[in-house]
Structure 1
């Protein structure tokens, strides 16, 4: 194969940065973050020219501020558009089924429904993708800014990011390990995990559709995580138990558990205050439901469209170039998703902040095995098409070893 041509930005970094002792410090920071397996480092680092990682790992308060504020601005403008459609007053004031149907069946709903779904999608982009970057500490260079933003995002978009950070570290360290990856052990039975056919795909097309339709389930799981975490109980993604064979909950440092409990209890307290202040009247409760809770729950559907195949049909190995997918998508979607579509690159170098992932992609793309789907729609089609990933999981046996 001919070598991939790097962008001007990537070339500049390569030619201006030389190997320094800081490179060793940078790599140590990647591992010390708890998100990378040490034995993978030597092979992985050969993929980058000397000194490049040091430059790519540099964080920026300005980049974080621009991305967060712009995404919140887009969300606000979407809310303004929804308000101007004048649908909510009709829904709020409907006193009979006939009144409600007259609003639902109006022509305005044709524009309202996609915009409202997009509003919810933006909430989940901030909660899922923005929250993911925050728990990695990559949004702001200043730690306290990152901490404040992490609590805000966790609370505003019904995430439980301190719980997520504990589980997400295990996912990074044990990606596709059927005994230790909580993204597997939390959602699949032992029978499914131990099957030689397992490809980290839904068990059927009906199960696939449930990921987009039964969205209240995702909200319920997060509330379970929040309540258990506020009591200092470590759980997997179910919020009700610990499914990983290792490590055991008692093996975690007391400080980690205490931090989880304090921040989760504070988040729960904020919800109590908001409900007490705005949810005690019928109109107040309707406002909270329409503008905040309902769109956030609806947003689980479209966000699953872009996150449910990050490791599907990938190799069961510790190599990030083989066990994780990357999707290029388009600039607008990448902006909303904080570049998390470059997922294999992120798994290989989790300490590289979001705004440098496109540059990292240019270095690594020709090393990534599972980058054949250039759009999320192509990825979803590969999931459900005849002979696709769901069918392979149900009919094609393969060796795990």
Structure 2
């Protein structure tokens, strides 16, 4: 057996310890993540004139990276307690317009069929092959159009997604209707009070922050081969500590796909244990996108 094969088969006792689900790390991380929204939100409210838009970018990045606890919560690894996973998933899903019960079904299908062009639901929206397509996706407009359209269709009882069985389809439809009712209540309340706080602290920051989340997510699989090996069809990215913190350690994405039962707080230790197993590693998000833009411009980038 080679050293690489040995690294891919760590001691079961070590894996069991790394896979232990705990409340403490998740409570500390989500508390700090939400606390970070206080100074960024205060900066929006305190900024004079149109300067609040600059603060809204920072606020929007923190808001949109609530995708990380949403992702961890649907895996039920953010916390040991199920109710905490559900609560955080619902709150983050509301911010992102990404209901967690539907997203869980979507995401688990993605894990089962990663980079399979026929069965991975992430590939239903192809990766960009032109500079205009790249700009369209990175802008976030494609995300909001696809996500809001899907939410409205499910609320109308239209849920054709192949990864939904009858039980999950009924749950996704009910969930979409609850989410729309909440959004309608927020809009009605804002109008009744003559308040623009929802726009200033959520809607506009979400629009400004979404491109940063798109840039982050594009690195995970774009350009990886259509093979079943999770170490080969998924990319990890070497990133700065603030990015790793904000993304709940998910830059270790190949490690996450190889063993999705490992909670976010144990992923760095698992990555160290499996050092050398990654097939695709980006040395930062800026170099990754510089390389992909060059590939797109040269016609070398495919839709997977």
Give deviations 1:89-116, integer Å, cap 9, x for gaps: xxxxxxxxxxxxxxx5xxxx4xx54432
Rate the CA distance shift 1:114–1:374 in 2: closer, same or farther, 3 A.
farther
* C-alpha displacement of 1:44: 9.7
Q: Secondary structure in 2 aligned to 1:338? A: coil
* C-alpha displacement of 1:310: 1.0
- Asked if 1:131 corresponds to 2:70, the answer is yes
* C-alpha displacement of 1:322: 0.5
Flag structure 2 segments of 5+ consecutive residues without an equivalent.
none
Q: Measure, in 1, the Cα distance between the counterparts of 2:11 and 2:286.
A: 33
Q: Measure, in 1, the Cα distance between the counterparts of 2:110 and 2:24.
A: 29
Rate the CA distance shift 1:224–1:44 in 2: closer, same or farther, 3 A.
farther
- Asked if 1:293 corresponds to 2:203, the answer is yes
Give deviations 1:123-177, integer Å, cap 9, x for gaps: 1100x22211111111110101211221111113322222211111111111111
- Asked if 1:115 corresponds to 2:55, the answer is yes
- What's the TM-score once normalised by structure 1's chain length? 0.70
User: Which aligned segments of 4 or more residues in structure 1 are displaced greater than 6 angstroms?
Assistant: none
1:187 corresponding residue in structure 2? 125
Give deviations 1:315-368, integer Å, cap 9, x for gaps: 221101111000120111111111111110010111111111111111223111
Q: Which has the larger radius of gyration?
A: 1
Asked if the contact 1:312/1:389 (under 8 Å) is kept, the reply is no
Rate the CA distance shift 1:394–1:79 in 2: closer, same or farther, 3 A.
closer
Higher relative CO (Cα under 8 Å, sequence separation at least 6) belongs to 2
* C-alpha displacement of 1:256: 1.7
Q: Measure, in 2, the Cα distance between the counterparts of 1:45 and 1:257.
A: 40
1:376 corresponding residue in structure 2? 285
Q: Measure, in 1, the Cα distance between the counterparts of 2:232 and 2:24.
A: 33
Q: Secondary structure in 2 aligned to 1:279? A: helix
- Asked if 1:67 corresponds to 2:67, the answer is no
- Asked if 1:260 corresponds to 2:172, the answer is yes
Q: Secondary structure in 2 aligned to 1:326? A: strand
Give deviations 1:344-393, integer Å, cap 9, x for gaps: 0010111111111111111223111101x2211111111113xx366363
1:93 corresponding residue in structure 2? none
1:77 corresponding residue in structure 2? 39
State which of 326, 334, 340 in structure 1 corresponds to 2:236: 326
Asked if the contact 1:212/1:304 (under 8 Å) is kept, the reply is yes
Q: Measure, in 1, the Cα distance between the counterparts of 2:271 and 2:132.
A: 34
State which of 227, 249, 253 in structure 2 corresponds to 1:343: 253
Q: Measure, in 2, the Cα distance between the counterparts of 1:86 and 1:338.
A: 33
- Asked if 1:352 corresponds to 2:262, the answer is yes
Q: Measure, in 1, the Cα distance between the counterparts of 2:182 and 2:158.
A: 20
Q: Secondary structure in 2 aligned to 1:365? A: coil
Q: Measure, in 1, the Cα distance between the counterparts of 2:9 and 2:158.
A: 40
Give deviations 1:286-338, integer Å, cap 9, x for gaps: 33212211111221111112111211221221101111000120111111111
Rate the CA distance shift 1:133–1:356 in 2: closer, same or farther, 3 A.
same
Asked if the contact 2:7/2:277 (under 8 Å) is kept, the reply is no
Asked if the contact 1:154/1:160 (under 8 Å) is kept, the reply is yes
Give deviations 1:207-239, integer Å, cap 9, x for gaps: 2122233x333223222222223344334xxxx
CA RMSD of aligned residues (A): 2.5
- Bigger drift between 343-352 and 154-163 goes to 154-163
* C-alpha displacement of 1:264: 2.2
Aligned length: 302
State which of 166, 176, 181 in structure 2 corresponds to 1:269: 181
- What's the TM-score once normalised by structure 2's chain length? 0.90
Rate the CA distance shift 1:275–1:58 in 2: closer, same or farther, 3 A.
same
Asked if the contact 1:327/1:342 (under 8 Å) is kept, the reply is yes
